[in-house]
Amino acid sequence: AHGMKVVPASATLAVVLNDLLYTQASPYRLKEALDRVADLFVYALIDCPAMLGSAMNNGLTAADVALVPLQCDFLALRGLADVQEIADTIREEVNPRLQLHALGTMYDRRTAHAHDVLSEVRSALSGLGASLGMAATSIQSSEPSLGMA
């Protein structure tokens, strides 16, 4: 796309992540790199690994907004609680502008379970400058063809 640049990860990402563990200023490395090129971009999308660790800490330290994809399942709420705790710490210590948003995925509007999970997420995120979006699924998009609309 015009005006868009993609900087993909490479095999060296694992080496960089390992090096970040032993660097004193590790939470600021990504932020510092992005600050050097900030005048070239309006937005920077940072795709962090799903695991908790230095890559996520760097991403949250550099971000204004964190969008967390969340499968509409109760087990996923445990992971959201961990991300919230890390985001709260980063917000308090290094990045007060950080906002946390969740994007519900694999949502099946026909089930009470999915509705309950979204309700729990809304409760968990309320008052945190956070919100919940919802992604369409293949189940939803195929409903009209299956006579389930």
Most distant pair of Cα atoms in the chain: their distance: 58
Q: What is the pLDDT of residues 110-144, one digit of tens each?
A: 888 888 888 888 787 765 444 555 655 544 444 44
Evaluate whether 121 touches 77 at the Cβ level (below 8 Å): yes
> What's the whole-model pTM score?
0.71
Residue of 91, 137, 133 lying closest to 111 (CA atoms): 137
Element of type H or E holding 99? strand 99-105
Q: What is the pLDDT of residues 35-75, one digit of tens each?
A: 998 888 888 888 887 777 778 888 899 999 988 888 888 88
* 17 or 100, which is more confident: 100
